[in-house]
Amino acid sequence: MPSFVFNFFGFIAFIVPLWVGVFFWRMDVEAPRDEPIRFNRFRRKVYVYRFHHDGLRPFSRTAWGVRAEVYDWDNLRAEACSVYGPMGSGGLIETVTLAVVKPGTHQVID
C-alpha cells in the first residue's frame, strides 16, 4: 500500500509542474501583443480579433489562438472619455470606447 501512495503522489508531483509549465510557456510564446480591430466600410462590418486560451487544455491546438468576431457597423456606439490620470505631470488621458448594442435598443452586448 505505501508504494501505491508514493507512486500516486510522485505521478501528481510530475504532472502538475509539467501542466503549469506548458501553460505559462504557451502564454509567453503564443499570446499576441495586440488584438486589432478592422473596419470594412464597403461591407459595413467590424472585425474584432481576440486571443482565446484554455488553462485546462494547454496541449490543445483548437483551444488556443486568435478568433475573429464580426459585428454590424450599424450596431456600434462610440464614446469619447477624458480623465485626469495619476501621471507625473497630472496629464489628461483621452480614450475612445466602442460598444456593440442590440439592434434597435441601447442594450450593450459587447
Q: d(Cα 80, Cα 1) in Å, to the nearest integer?
A: 67
Domain of residue 52 covers: 2-74
- Beta carbons within 8 Å of 22's beta carbon, 6+ residues apart: 58, 59
In a domain, 84, yes or no: no
pLDDT of residue 1: 59
Integer-rounded Cα radius of gyration of the chain: 22
Name the pTM for this structure. 0.58
Q: How far is CA 31 from the centre of its chain?
A: 9
The answer on pLDDT for 13 being more than 80 is: yes
For the chain, the domain total comes to: 1
Length of the chain: 110
Residues 61-110 pLDDT 10s: 777 777 888 888 888 888 888 877 776 666 777 888 888 888 888 888 87
Strand partners, 38: 47
Give domain status of residue 65, yes or no: yes
Within a domain: residue 36? yes
Q: Is residue 95 part of a domain?
A: no
pLDDT of 90 reads 65
pLDDT of residue 33: 67
What H or E segment, with its residue span, contains residue 24?
A: helix 2-30
Backbone angles phi, psi at 102, to 5 degrees: -65, 145
For the residues 28-56, what does the mean pLDDT come to?
Answer: 80
CA–CA–CA angle 47, 43, 45 (5° rounding) = 25
68 belongs to a structural domain:
yes
